Amino acid sequence: MEVANESALMAKLKPLIDSGRVDNLIDLLSLVSDVVDLLDAPMVEKLAQLFENATAATWTVSNAVRAAKADSAENEQPPGFYQLLKLLREPDTRRGVGFLLKTLNVIGRQL
């Protein structure tokens, strides 16, 4: 009975072995094993912190876009040149522009 089960299993596996698909399964199992080995407590902590930072950044940007969109919807015409210059006098605008320029500076250094 056991020999019949083995030959039935081999008959089912033969096309997978011939086509090389079993190799893909073995590679996948190897990859999963490597990931499990890498996921120690400090790595999980780092990944959790990265996820938290990405979520916070996304939340901040989406809130800023919503507020700017609501403010723009109130104005029928786009701001003129002098209105834009007036915006640059506001500390929050300068802080945002400074942050954006500093971010671009860091990205430029890494290129």
Cβ neighbors of 58 (< 8 A, separation 6 or more) are none
Residue 14 corresponds to which amino acid?
A: K
**Co-location of 85 and 66 in the same domain:** no
Q: What is the pLDDT of residues 59-100, one digit of tens each?
A: 999 998 998 888 888 877 888 899 889 988 999 999 999 999
State yes or no: pLDDT of 7 exceeds 60: yes
Domain count for the chain, please give it: 3
**Co-location of 19 and 47 in the same domain:** no
**Averaged pLDDT, 15-35:** 87
Residue 2's pLDDT is 67
**Co-location of 63 and 83 in the same domain:** no
Residue 55's pLDDT is 96
Q: Which of 84, 88, 82, 86 is nearest to 101 (CA)?
A: 88
Torsion of CA 73, 76, 77, 82, to 10 degrees: -80
Q: What's the domain range around 96? A: 79-111
Q: What is the pLDDT of residues 27-69, one digit of tens each?
A: 999 999 888 888 888 888 998 999 999 999 999 999 989 988 8
Q: CA-based angle 103:86:56, to the nearest 5?
A: 35
CA dihedral for 49, 102, 88, 83, sign (positive or negative): negative
